[in-house]
């Protein structure tokens, strides 16, 4: 039993890493496109591109680790989710391809500042988390039926479900909020007061739909008598802690003080909510058909995977640290004085 919990915990850490890094990346792409369309690119574009340039290619490493791990640790997920997620996963892969292609065209083809490329890149970044969030909805149960051919996704029920749309809205607003808070601090470190003030306003604006959509999900789970709601109530104190951290972040932004601390508190806020969600979802991977216990791989494979993934995390974290130290937090780079890093 401890191996199952260890395995899902390692995967959840990788998924959380992807959620944070990808959210900043996706949100930055959207804000860059929005600034070009609204004529505010002179304020935001330089700061955003300094962030995007070193990190856009490594964002998906966390996601690759997670997908390989989920199939390795829990082989039956390939059978259940492989069929029902054929369309949503295909859309996400197409969007990832479009996003990477357009960023490469915009960055390396001599067409910097091209609105079409920037808008395609930015919108794809919002649609990716929306398409991937379908997994969270499906895992709640009630959207998959079993027949002789195997699991089948009820698209009509899915697309008409208020819970599904609440999760989609939360995924989009979380991306924009996380990115805006981080870029507020990043612009401040770059000494760009105008960009920092503008991103601060965006962060405060997107905080409202974020909290509304979060409550919307809880209301929908309760209204439908979902099994997950009862388990969330049992650890509600973790969600309350997350709410308090959310208010602390908002206060720091509102008071215009300690943006770095605001980013740390925001990360803790999402970590608390993210892991509370995972704990409350235990033991189901797909309710009511699949749990982490009845779909787990053999012990030898599990131990090998745990060792491999911990080693991978041991390599990935120092790599990310070097990227952030040499580029993202390099004083000459963020201020634009040292363009050789680009």
Cα 103 to chain centroid, rounded: 19
Q: What is the pLDDT of residues 39-79, one digit of tens each?
A: 877 777 777 777 665 666 677 788 888 888 999 999 999 88
Q: Please list, in sequence order, all residues whose beta carbon lies within 8 angstroms of the beta carbon of residue 106, skipping any fewer than 6 positions away.
A: 112, 114, 117, 118, 121
- What 147-152 contacts at long range (C-beta under 8 Å, 24+ apart), as own/partner pairs, is 150/79, 150/83, 151/79, 151/80, 151/83, 151/84, 151/289, 152/83, 152/84
| Cβ pair 103, 59 in contact under 8 A | no
Is the bond preceding 288 in cis, omega lying within 30 degrees of 0?
yes
Tens-digit pLDDT profile for residues 89-122: 888 888 888 877 776 666 565 555 567 777 888 8
**8 Å CB contact between 96 and 329:** no
Q: Which pLDDT band, with edges at 50, 70 and 90, does 280 fall under?
A: very high
| Alpha helices for 224-235 (secondary structure H) | 227-234
DSSP 3-state of 142: coil
Of 266 and 28, which is predicted with more confidence? 266
pLDDT digits (tens, 9 = 90+) for 137-185: 999 988 998 888 788 899 999 999 999 999 999 999 999 999 999 999 9
**Per-residue b or e along 40-56, where b marks 16 or more CB atoms closer than 10 Å to that residue's CB:** ebebbbebbbbbbbbbb
Question: Is the pLDDT at 339 greater than 60, yes or no?
Answer: no
Euclidean distance between CA atoms 228 and 232, whole angstroms: 6
Pairing outcome for strands 290-291 and 144-147: unpaired
d(CA 277, CA 35): 34
Strand 284-286 to 290-291 pairing: antiparallel
C-alpha span between 291 and 311 (Å, rounded):
26
């Amino acid at each position: 039993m401890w191996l199952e919990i260890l395995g899902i915990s390692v995967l959840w850490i990788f998924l959380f890493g992807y959620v944070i890094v990808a959210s900043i990346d996706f949100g930055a792409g959207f804000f860059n496109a929005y600034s070009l369309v609204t004529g505010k690119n002179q304020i935001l574009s330089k700061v955003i591109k300094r962030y995007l340039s070193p990190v856009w290619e490594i964002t998906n490493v966390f996601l690759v680790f997670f997908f390989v791990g989920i199939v390795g640790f829990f082989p039956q997920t390939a059978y259940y989710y492989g069929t029902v997620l054929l369309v949503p996963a295909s859309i996400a892969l197409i969007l990832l391809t479009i996003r990477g292609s357009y960023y490469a065209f915009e960055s390396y083809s001599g067409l910097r500042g091209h609105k079409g490329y920037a808008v395609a890149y930015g919108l794809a970044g919002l649609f990716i988390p929306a398409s991937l969030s379908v997994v969270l909805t499906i895992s709640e149960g009630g959207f998959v039926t079993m027949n002789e051919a195997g699991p089948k996704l009820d698209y009509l029920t899915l697309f008409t479900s208020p819970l599904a749309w609440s999760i989609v809205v939360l995924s989009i607003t979380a991306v924009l909020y996380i990115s805006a808070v981080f870029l507020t601090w990043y612009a401040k470190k770059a000494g760009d007061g105008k960009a920092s003030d503008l991103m601060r306003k965006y962060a405060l604006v997107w905080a409202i739909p974020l909290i509304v959509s979060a409550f919307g999900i809880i209301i929908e789970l309760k209204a439908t008598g979902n099994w997950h709601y009862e388990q969330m109530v049992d650890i509600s104190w973790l969600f309350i802690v997350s709410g308090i951290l959310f208010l602390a972040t908002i206060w720091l932004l509102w008071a215009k003080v300690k943006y770095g601390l605001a980013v740390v508190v925001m990360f803790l806020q999402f970590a608390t909510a993210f892991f509370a969600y995972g704990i409350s979802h235990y033991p189901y991977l797909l309710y009511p058909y699949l749990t982490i216990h009845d779909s787990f791989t053999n012990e030898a494979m599990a131990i090998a995977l745990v060792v491999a993934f911990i080693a991978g995390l041991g390599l990935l974290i120092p790599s990310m640290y070097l990227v952030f130290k040499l580029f993202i937090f390099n004083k000459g780079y963020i201020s634009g004085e040292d363009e050789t890093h680009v």
